[in-house]
Amino acid sequence: MLLKIKNKDTLIIDDFRFRCCVGRNGVKKNKREGDGCTPKGTFKIGSIYWRRDRVSKLNCKLKSKVITKNMGWCNDKDSKLYNKQISLDNKINSEKLFRKDHKYNYFIEILYNREKIIKNKGSAIFLHLTKNYKPTAGCIAVKQKDFIIICKLINNNSKILIS
């Protein structure tokens, strides 16, 4: 199953079309940490993460992980843990996954810069939720109702094409 991002505002899977939003500075081949761009290319997708205190586990063929209060994603360019899920630590810069807003009630990891991690190439690229389609920091975001449908369509072999 291939998910395609088209025109920076449409996610297509087979005959399904979903409105989406991407990074505030568009799509870019040579992404850098903090540039506000969504990486261009074709990427595998990873696990689905979800907040047990807010939403129900989805019927999805992806590996599922419950988000806990101490979970983060390392965006510290000087850390050996760069672009990995971590336990929060005040000494390491990271993005908190247990957020006050709704954006990470559900999210799917996009396996960008994950096999041979290159520091400063970008981290924490997810398909997550939005309520207003405002541009992201580099992720792709959809409404929760669309996210639920997308989860029913994809599996562990699915890829996302961002162009």
Q: Once rounded to an integer, what is the mean pLDDT over residues 114-133?
A: 96
Determine the pLDDT at residue 90: 78
How many folded domains does the chain comprise?
Answer: 1
Determine the pLDDT at residue 72: 97
pTM of this structure:
0.95
- Give per-residue pLDDT as tens, 75-120: 999 999 999 999 998 788 999 999 999 999 999 999 999 999 999 9
User: What domain range is 111 assigned to?
Assistant: 2-162
Determine the pLDDT at residue 123: 97
End-to-end, the C-alpha distance of the chain in Å comes to 17
Determine the pLDDT at residue 89: 81
CA distances from 126 to 35, 72, 104, 113 (A): 15, 13, 9, 12
Tell me which amino acid residue 152 is: K
Supply the CATH number for residue 119's domain: 2.40.440.10
Q: Of 28, 33, 5, 26, which Cα lies nearest the Cα of 127?
A: 5
- Give per-residue pLDDT as tens, 13-48: 999 999 999 999 999 999 999 999 999 999 999 999
Determine the pLDDT at residue 57: 96
For residues 39 and 142, the answer to whether their CB atoms sit within 8 Å is no
- Give per-residue pLDDT as tens, 47-83: 999 999 999 999 999 999 999 999 999 999 999 999 9
- CB neighbours (10 Å) of residue 42? 12
Residue 157: pLDDT band with limits 50, 70, 90: very high
Q: Once rounded to an integer, what is the mean pLDDT over residues 135-156?
A: 97
